[in-house]
Amino acid sequence: MSSSFSSNSMCLSLGEQSSKVFILSKPSSFFAKPCRRNNKNFHVSCSNDNANKNNGDDHEKNVARRNVLVGLGGLYGASNLAPLAYASPIPIPNLKSCGKATKEGSIEVDYSCCPPTPAEWNNIPYYKFPPMSKLRRRPRAQQVTEEYIAKYQLATRRMMDLNEKDPRSFKQQANIHCAYCNGAYKFGDDVLQVHFNWLFFPFHRWYLYFYERILGKLIDDPTFALPYWNWDHPDGMRLPPMFDRRNTSLYDPRRNPHVRNGTIIDFRFGGDEEVSTDVEQTVTNNLTSVYRAMITNAACPLQFFGARYLLGTNNTDDAGTIEKMPHTPIHVWTGTVRGTALEDGRTSFGEDMGNFYSAGLDPVFYSHHANVDRMWNIWKGLGGKKRDIKEEDWLNSEFFFYDENQKPYRVRVGDCLDTRKMGYDYAPADIPWINCRPTRKGREGKVDSTKFDLENKVFPITNLNKPISFCIKRPKTSRSQEDKIEKEEVLMFKGLKYDRSKYIRFDVFLNEDENVNADELDKVEFAGTYVNLPHNHAHNNNKRDNGETFQLDITESLEDCGLEDDDIITVTVVPKKGGGAISIQSVAIEFLES
């Protein structure tokens, strides 16, 4: 793909539309108002630099509900019931009881992922941000200079040259992800897991914060900032070139060979599948997927962040929208093909990026997650109010890290909500996906729902080895704008089970049948995607026997498909990868209230 793709040209087939960004009076509080009359370049800054230029009051009064995406606070549905009285926030793990991590199932990692244990384990202080004279500005990986690349290579090389017992060493930094994500830490029968729940964003934000500061310390540059791999832009939908230079500290020979030489990523696939669409359609599909993940399917905080995760309660695995897509496919696309031979002859489990335990061994991991972190900043700006979760159980959850001086600290989720207070920000970049709300219809008219069985006659299903269509009754139709602001209409797939060691993906369409063209996502019928990154089960007790719940916000999709007044709608589920390993207990439509 050439750099000729731009925010001006992407998604033109979706109708002539673009967006303007208005900066409100509060930091990180800006919203996007689509303007369908023209197509202008624009960018969103995640900083406060222009925070007071426009208070947005005149615009906010007249912006449609779905384009403002007002902040709704914490939202609760069937899979996110109020926590039990004895539930509590996640504390830092007990390092003295840290054990073996597993690649998947009972297959253990052949080295310890546990960090060095501080001498005064019972007296680890809370971290306080040091004074700063200048914000660290994280640059786009596609726009860095040769001088920057040399500095980044040097910092990474020095980290790799540290003694492996040093908590700042590259191996120990990678082990942080292994320990927190592959079962080394346990609370009783529960295995600590920071994916598939509301800890995903804050854990990785703190993780990158200390990693970045360690790199800066090693080259005596407190202003050094990690680059972000902005895969949400056409120019970034391939491996950043600085990571594709052999014999440098940023190169990982265990990456899948297909990531080399500027190959474009297709968010729909994660392995060696041959991309069946042309480059332009692939780019448009990718941008549409980001739009769905950031806007359509993420109106509620717990949809964006992921399900509650507490001690002493029956937690539900339900990853947030960005974690599912495109975060997960990029991991799998970059790692080795599972089942192939590694350089030492061992069988691959997706190393490095394609498995949690080894993901941090690829330097590109940190740039990938820098963009994930940036998406959090951008998402908060899509509404007229701050959108972070207000629940104390989230704000008071804690993690453990070493800083750049090898000192151990505990950190709180509630202290990482403002990146500027943490001392860093992101260089601005165009966000063309915000133009990609689908307007094109894949079919004329409506599917005859009488041709399909109701969901209670279709489910449960034991394997999703082919597309299935069913119709489902809506509890309420013809909702007012006020009702839509208060409640999101959500399609709930309940009792979702599969082999967690497999890469799983299926797409969901409204007003389509089994003959849907699933290679074109830039149409109103495409509602969203479920994706699983191969991993060890996060919990080894019986609390998860009922399976996962996949929530898909369909309020905007119903509007665009012209189905708001229909009491029965048709849903089609199309497996893209690993469908034979998927079973679904039931499907329902419910409403999430603010």
- 258 is a catalytic site residue: no
Considering the candidates 5, 31, 269, 327, report the single residue annotated as catalytic. Answer: 327
> Which domains are present in the chain?
78-91+136-435 (1.10.1280.10), 449-593 (2.60.120)
Lowest mean pLDDT among 77-86, 285-294, 333-342, 467-476: 77-86
Selected catalytic residue, list 22, 204, 224, 493: 204
Task: Using the structure block, give the residue that is written with the tokens 């997960």.
Answer: 328
Could you give the angle at which helices 170-181 and 146-161 cross, rounded to 10 degrees?
A: 80
**Catalytic residue selected from 196, 233, 304, 331:** 331
Among 376-390, 479-493, 541-555, the least confident range: 541-555
Structure tokens, 553: 């916000």
Amino acid at 236: G
The verdict on whether 195 is a catalytic residue reads yes
With H, G, I as helix, E, B as strand and everything else as coil, classify residue 455.
Answer: helix
* 240 φψ region: left (φ > 0), alpha (ψ -120 to 50), beta (else): beta
Q: Out of 212-226, 282-296, 350-364, 578-592, pick the least confident.
A: 578-592
Q: Is 537 a catalytic residue?
A: no
Q: Answer yes or no: pTM beyond 0.75.
A: yes
- Whether 43 sits among the annotated catalytic residues: the reply is no
Q: How many helices and strands (H and E) does the chain possess? A: 14, 17
How many Cα neighbours within 13 Å face the side chain of 343?
8
Contact (Cβ atoms closer than 8 angstroms) between residue 172 and residue 113: no
Which of these, 553, 587, 589, 572, lies nearest to 477 by C-alpha position?
Answer: 589
How far is it, in rounded angstroms, from Cα 497 to Cα 546? Answer: 8
- The full DSSP string for 158-174 is HHHHS-TTSTTSHHHHH
Strand-pair category, 548-553 with 487-496: antiparallel
Phi, psi of 469 (to 5 degrees): -120, 145
**d(Cα 35, Cα 130) in Å, to the nearest integer?**
43
Distance CA 302, CA 318 (A): 9
Residue 270: pLDDT band with limits 50, 70, 90: low
Tens of pLDDT along 49-88? 333 333 333 333 333 333 333 222 222 223 333 333 356 8
Phi-psi region of 474 (alpha: psi -120 to 50; beta: other; left: phi over 0): beta
pLDDT per residue as tens digits for the range 72-131: 222 222 333 333 335 689 999 988 889 999 988 789 999 999 999 998 878 899 999 999
Q: Which range among 40-44, 256-260, 328-332, 398-402 shows the weakest confidence by mean pLDDT?
A: 40-44
Of the listed ranges 147-161, 352-366, 493-507, the least confidently predicted one is 493-507
User: Residue 129 in 3-state DSSP?
Assistant: coil
Instruction: Give yes or no: 535 in active site.
Output: no
Residue given tokens 């500005």 in the structure block: 137
Q: Name the active-site residue from 356, 399, 452, 470.
A: 356
Cα pseudo-dihedral 277, 281, 282, 283, rounded to 10: 160
